[in-house]
C-alpha cells in the first residue's frame, strides 16, 4: 500500500482535493527518486558505493551507434573529422574485425573512490572490484560489475538497454539503445569509428603533453526529449574525443550533461555531471590495438535557488585495467542478452543520473 497523502485541516472541495492528491504523488515520487539515486545527500552514514556504481559503473554513451562509415581512401576524405577517423581505424587495425568477429569477451579490474564529497566526510578509501563484458556487434552487450558487496548488471538485446542494481532492481534505459561507454574507452575501436564518424572537428588540444585532434558529438533534441520525463529534463549531453596526432589513437574521452529536476511548486535544481577518461596501454589483440588501462574522473555539481549554501560538488575517481580480451567465444548466442523477466518498461527517470553518468543508477 502506498503512503497516504497528508490530511488537510481545512475543508476543500473535490477539485481541490484531487489537485492536492496529484501534488502529493508528484512530491513523493520526486523525493523517492532523489533518495534512490543520491543516498549520499541524505545520510552521512551512507556508504559511497552506490554513488560510485551509479555514476562510474555502467554509464551509457550519449548517442546510439551509427552505420559503419565507408572505408574511404585519402582522396575521398571530405572533412577533417573523416580524416581523423580514417587515421584511427588505420592505427587500430579495426577493419580486420569486420565480417570476421561475431562476439567479444573482456575481463578487467577496477578501483573506485570518492575523493571529495562536499564536506560529507569521505575517507578516500578505494573500493576494488572486477567486471566481465560480452558483446555481439553492434548493439547486443552485457556487463557484470562487482565492487565491494554490490553487483551491477547491465545489458542490451538490440532493442532495449537495461540495468539491474541492488537498490533499484531491473529497469530499462530511456532514449533507446546506446552503447556502453566503457566499451568505447578503447575496447571497441569499430564502435569508436562508428559514433565519431558524424562528429564535428573542433581543432587541436594538448592532453598530458600529447598533441591531439578534438572531435565533438552532441545529443540532438529528440534524443534529449526521449531521455526526459515530468520529473527531470535532460538539457544537454556533449561528448569530446581526443585523438593523438602522433599515434592516431583515441587517448581521452570527455562528456558532460545537464539535468533539470523540479517537483510541482518548488524551484528547479540542476545537476551537471562531467566525466573524463584517460585511455592508455594499447596492445595488439589478434592484430587489433585494444586499450588495456585508463583512469576516469567524474564531477557532480548540484546548483539552484533551493541550495542556499551554493553549489554542492562531489568528485569521484576510477582506475581500470584489462586482463583478457578474446574474439569469437564459442557458445555465446543472442539468448545471453535477453533482459530479465522482471524488467519494468514503465519507470521513473533512469536518466544518466542513474546510468552515469545523473547518479545513469
Q: Give the pLDDT confidence of 119-159 residue by residue, as tens digits.
A: 555 556 688 999 999 999 778 999 999 998 889 999 999 98
Q: Does residue 75 belong to any structural domain of this protein? A: yes
Residue 126 lies in a domain: yes
CB 244 within 8 Å of CB 210: yes
For residue 104, the SS3 value is strand
Residues 6+ apart with CB under 8 A from 127: 48, 49, 52, 111, 112, 113, 147, 148
pLDDT of 120: 52
Q: How many domains does the chain have?
A: 1
What is the CATH classification number for the domain harbouring 159?
Answer: 2.50.20.10
Q: Check residue 45 and give its pLDDT.
A: 34
Grade residue 49 by pLDDT with cuts at 50, 70 and 90. confident
pLDDT value at 21 more than 70: no
pLDDT at residue 43 tops 60: no
Residue 55 contacts residue 256 (beta carbons within 8 Å): no
Q: If pLDDT is split at 50, 70 and 90, which confidence band does 40 have?
A: very low
Q: Is residue 90 in some structural domain? A: yes
**Residue 116 falls inside a structural domain:** yes
Asked whether the predicted pLDDT for residue 310 surpasses 90, the reply is no
Overall average pLDDT of the 323-352 stretch: 75
**How far is it, in rounded angstroms, from Cα 290 to Cα 285?**
7
Mean pLDDT of 31-56: 60
Residue 125 lies in a domain: yes
Q: Is residue 163 in a domain?
A: yes
Please work out, in degrees rounded to the nearest 5, the angle formed at the alpha carbon of residue 191 by the alpha carbons of 361 and 274. 40
pLDDT tens digits along 214-226? 999 999 898 898 8
Distance CA 86, CA 71 (A): 8
1 falls within a domain: no
- Size of the chain, expressed as the number of residues it contains: 361
Residue with grid cell 587500430, as numbered in its chain = 92
CA distance 37 to 11: 37
Q: How far is CA 98 from CA 70, 161, 180, 243, 253, in A?
A: 12, 24, 19, 22, 24
Write the pLDDT tens digit of every residue in 251-276. Answer: 999 999 999 988 777 888 899 999 99
Residues 277/294, Cβ–Cβ less than 8 Å: yes
Residue 29, pLDDT score: 52
Range of the domain at 159: 14-39+48-355
Asked if residue 6 belongs to a domain, the reply is no
Non-local CB neighbours of 209 within 8 Å, separated by 6+ positions = none
* Grid cell locating 135: 558483446
**Whole-structure pTM value:** 0.81
Amino acid at each position: 500500500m502506498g503512503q497516504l497523502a497528508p490530511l488537510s485541516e481545512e475543508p476543500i472541495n473535490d477539485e481541490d482535493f484531487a489537485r492536492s492528491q496529484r501534488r502529493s504523488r508528484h512530491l513523493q515520487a520526486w523525493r523517492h527518486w532523489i533518495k534512490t539515486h543520491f543516498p549520499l545527500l541524505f545520510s552521512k552514514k551512507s556508504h559511497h558505493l552506490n554513488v560510485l556504481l551509479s555514476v562510474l559503473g555502467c554509464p551509457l554513451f550519449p548517442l546510439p551507434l551509427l552505420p559503419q562509415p565507408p572505408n574511404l581512401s585519402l582522396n575521398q576524405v571530405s572533412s577533417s573529422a573523416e580524416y581523423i577517423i580514417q587515421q584511427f581505424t588505420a592505427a587500430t587495425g579495426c577493419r580486420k574485425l569486420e565480417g570476421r568477429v561475431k562476439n567479444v569477451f573482456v575481463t578487467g579490474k577496477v578501483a573506485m573512490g570518492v575523493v571529495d564529497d562536499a564536506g560529507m566526510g569521505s575517507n578516500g578509501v578505494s573500493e576494488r572490484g572486477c567486471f566481465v563484458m560480452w558483446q555481439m556487434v553492434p548493439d547486443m552487450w552485457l556487463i557484470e560489475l562487482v565492487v565491494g558487496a554490490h553487483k551491477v548488471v547491465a545489458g542490451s538485446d538490440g532493442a532495449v538497454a537495461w540495468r539491474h542494481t541492488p537498490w533499484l532492481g531491473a529497469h530499462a534505459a530511456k532514449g533507446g539503445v546506446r552503447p556502453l561507454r566503457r566499451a568505447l574507452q578503447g575496447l571497441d575501436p569499430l564502435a569508436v569509428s562508428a559514433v565519431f564518424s558524424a562528429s564535428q572537428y573542433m581543432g587541436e588540444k594538448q592532453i598530458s603533453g600529447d598533441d591531439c585532434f578534438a572531435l565533438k558529438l552532441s545529443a540532438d533534441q529528440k534524443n534529449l526529449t526521449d531521455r526526459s520525463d515530468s520529473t527531470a529534463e535532460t538539457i544537454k549531453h556533449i561528448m569530446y574525443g581526443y585523438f593523438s596526432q602522433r599515434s592516431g589513437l583515441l587517448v581521452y574521452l570527455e562528456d558532460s550533461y545537464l539535468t533539470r529536476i523540479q517537483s510541482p511548486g518548488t524551484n528547479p535544481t540542476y545537476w551537471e555531471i562531467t566525466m573524463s577518461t584517460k585511455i592508455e596501454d594499447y596492445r595488439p589483440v589478434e592484430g587489433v590495438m585494444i586499450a588495456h588501462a585508463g583512469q576516469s574522473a567524474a564531477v557532480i555539481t548540484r546548483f539552484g535557488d533551493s541550495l542556499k549554501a551554493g553549489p554542492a560538488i562531489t568528485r569521484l575517481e576510477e582506475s581500470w585495467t584489462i586482463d583478457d580480451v578474446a574474439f569469437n567465444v564459442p557458445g555465446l548466442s543472442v539468448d545471453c542478452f535477453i533482459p530479465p523477466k522482471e524488467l519494468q518498461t514503465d519507470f521513473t527517470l533512469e536518466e544518466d543520473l542513474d546510468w552515469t553518468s545523473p547518479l545513469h543508477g
